[in-house]
Amino acid sequence: MSRWQATTREEAAQEPALTIDALGKKCPIPIILLAEQIRSVPLNAIVAVLADDPAAYTDVPAWCRLKSHPHVATYELPKGGWAIHVRRNY
């Protein structure tokens, strides 16, 4: 795990219900894709946003705070970038 830590072990272990592949896309595209698709998963489900734009590393968690969806964790991907896990709250 990178600097962002999962809030609980259960959250860290939960598999994403949806993975959004935004690798190679510049911000704000990862956030736009997340905003468009987060309601397609059940409440409390995890959405993983795969992104390699450095802005996404901070912007997706900031969007989570703004929209009241918990940022669960951020994991470094083996080939670069991150998997940013977000829990749908409403």
Query: Exactly one of 20, 22, 27, 72 is catalytic; which is it?
Result: 27
* 64 given a catalytic annotation: no
Alpha carbons within 13 A on the beta-carbon side of 35? 14
Amino acid identity for residue 28 in this structure: P
Q: Is the peptide bond before 28 cis (omega within 30 degrees of 0)?
A: yes
Please list the active-site residues: 27
